């Protein structure tokens, strides 16, 4: 089964969502977007995963899925998820964090990096 990228975000953008969209666009990567302000189940998933309503929370899923293909390691209670590589999940990443994460999962070539 192949894998795809899903980005949990909000309808009204924020700097982290804008940055993530720019990185994905710069590398011509397709992704699905799920808005946590329009989908109560998605909102709860992000809250359960991160402890906050942190967007973007970007995950690798099996094609057509909405959940990470593997369960991410838990964060310490109250810890910020910002920029933490949690395997098939990353939340509020910087350009460098997201680029490394995409390379790690084979969505972009290491040579295409920065």
- Quote the pLDDT of residue 76: 87
The total of other beta-carbon atoms located within 10 Å of residue 104's CB is: 15
pLDDT for res 112: 54
* DSSP character string of the chain: --EEEEEEE-SS--HHHHHHHHHHHHTT---EEEETTT-HHHHHHHHHHHSS--S-EEEEEETT-SS-SSPPPPPPTT---BT-B-SSEEES--HHHHHHHHHHTTSS-GGG--
Q: What is the pLDDT along the chain (114 residues), one digit of tens a residue?
A: 699 999 999 999 899 999 999 999 999 999 999 999 999 999 999 999 999 999 999 999 999 999 999 999 999 888 999 999 999 999 999 999 999 999 999 999 977 554
Give the predicted TM-score (pTM) of the model. 0.94
Domain residue limits, the chain:
3-112
Per CATH, the number for 3-112 is 3.40.30.10
């Amino acid at each position: 089964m192949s894998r795809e990228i899903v980005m949990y975000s909000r309808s009204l953008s924020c700097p982290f969502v804008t940055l993530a969209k720019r990185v994905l666009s710069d590398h011509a990567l397709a992704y699905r977007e799920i808005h946590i302000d329009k989908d109560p189940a998605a909102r709860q998933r992000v809250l359960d995963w991160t402890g906050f309503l942190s967007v973007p929370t970007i995950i690798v899923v099996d094609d057509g899925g909405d959940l990470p293909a593997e369960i991410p390691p838990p964060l310490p209670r109250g810890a910020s998820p910002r920029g933490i590589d949690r395997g098939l999940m990353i939340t509020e990443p910087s350009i460098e964090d997201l680029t490394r994460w995409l390379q790690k999962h084979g969505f972009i070539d290491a040579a295409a990096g920065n």
